[in-house]
Structure 1
Amino acid sequence: MADISYTPTFHHVRWEDRKNRVEAAGPNGFNVRFNAIASDLRQLSAVVTQVGEAIDSTNVPPPPQQQRLTFTPSLRNRIDSTRPWFYDANGVATAQLNPSPGVQAFGVSNLNLPDGYWLTALRVVGSINAISGAPLFGSVTLARTPIRLVVPPATPETLATATGIGGSTQGAFDLPVPTTATLIDTGVFRYLLTLGLTGLNGTMKVEAVQLTLTPPS
């Protein structure tokens, strides 16, 4: 905060009875004295304005701070899933495929998100490991769908997606998923996360999903 100060310029020189004559002009006249007082009042007004602005500046709320919501998704297996998602001894979401035509694992989790916040980023932490070099691909999709029932049912709107996890890259991953900033409106939409694994033989684990949220300003 800038220094704020006020230095008065008017100094009263006492009049003496039957010695000083009342006059308007001159160095000791009313005009000079009252003009000096008026000048001090203007300066004081400017200082009061500065004080008010300084107080107002301290009352400005801080900018909205991003918040991170980290969780292990609670998955239900989708109807087209031929292999289940389950949880290992450490509570990590896991899908395991073995050699068989058309094997795939798709799990869906409904998300309870704070209304009115902005969704700005998605991050997924886990691992994927193919066995004997068999093709194995994971996917993560964050979507929303209208609560209002329509016929036919509305197609979920994708908010963020990452496909082809794994492929030629195996092992642990910490994946930022490109996300378009989206206002969360729980009165109109429900939000869901889908994890998928397709291929022949191998395992995918998702230890944590992290959403970055910005509160309304």
Structure 2
Amino acid sequence: MADISYGPTFRHVLWEDRKDRVEAGGPNGFNGRFNAIASDLRQLSTVVTDIGGAIDASNAPPPPQPQRLGFTPVLRSTGAQNDWTYESSGVAGAGGFDTFGVANLTLPDGLRLTSVRVVGTISRNSLGASGGGVSLARTPLRLVVPPAVPETLAVNDGIPGNGAFDLQIPVTASRALIDTGAFRYVFTANFSAITFGSMSIEAVHLTLVPPS
């Protein structure tokens, strides 16, 4: 809290009967004394305003803190690609050649997404390259013909092998507001390799904040 203080400047000097004369001007006149009192009152008013502001600030709720939703995605195959598998620890894994999966997400309505963090590893053998990608997208719930194209919220399609990765992917601001009444939300992951390789996803973290 700011240091708030008030020190009056007016000091009254007593008049003496039959010695002091009543006068308007001069160092002992009414005008000078009343102006000094008025100046003190203006200063006091400023201090009272500062006190009120300090009280309001102390009573204000703390700013909302970002929330983090963490999970290991349950990735489902959408066609002829290989399936993602799961270790006993819950880590999602892909091996072989082309592997693609989609996980439906249940998100808290009304919050805003700010970023997606994906932690995992990717590897290849010495005979060929491998790579992977992840994305967060939404699909309108309305039924249209042809079906609506998913709208990408965050994407990284360039995860190279080899080694561990820790991706921090920003969410497109214009699509950040979660609206579960209008959209379905999905997380996707893909892995491809010329020869055998592997990719694993240990965790996905979504950072959310209250709407601005």
TM bucket by the smaller chain? 0.7 to 0.9
For 1:75, the aligned partner's letter is L
Q: 2:116 aligns with which of 122, 126, 132?
A: 122
- Structure 1: how far apart are the matches of 2:116 and 2:23? 78
Query: So what's the TM-score if we normalise by structure 1?
Result: 0.78
| Structure 2 residue aligned with 1:4 | 4
Please state if 1:143 is matched with 2:137.
Answer: yes
After TM superposition, the structure 1 stretch with the greater mean CA deviation from structure 2, 126-135 or 199-208, is 126-135
- Structure 1: how far apart are the matches of 2:30 and 2:141? 79
Superposed, 1:96-175 pairs within 5 Å as 96-97=95-96, 104-131=98-125, 133-166=127-160, 169-175=161-167
Residue 172 of structure 1, CA deviation: 2.2
Superposed, 1:35-54 pairs within 5 Å as 35-54=35-54
CA gap of 1:87–1:13, structure 2 versus 1, over 3 A, is same
| Structure 2 residue aligned with 1:211 | 206
- Structure 2: how far apart are the matches of 1:11 and 1:177? 66
CA RMSD of aligned residues (A): 2.9
| Structure 2 residue aligned with 1:100 | none
* Identical-pair percentage: 61
For 1:67, the aligned partner's letter is Q
Please state if 1:188 is matched with 2:148.
Answer: no
- Structure 2: how far apart are the matches of 1:29 and 1:171? 87
Structure 2: which 5+ residue stretches go unaligned? Answer: none
Tell me how many residue pairs correspond in the alignment: 208
CA gap of 1:13–1:133, structure 2 versus 1, over 3 A, is same
Structure 1: which 5+ residue stretches go unaligned? Answer: 98-102
Q: In 1, are the aligned partners of 2:130 and 2:197 still within 8 Å (CA)?
A: yes
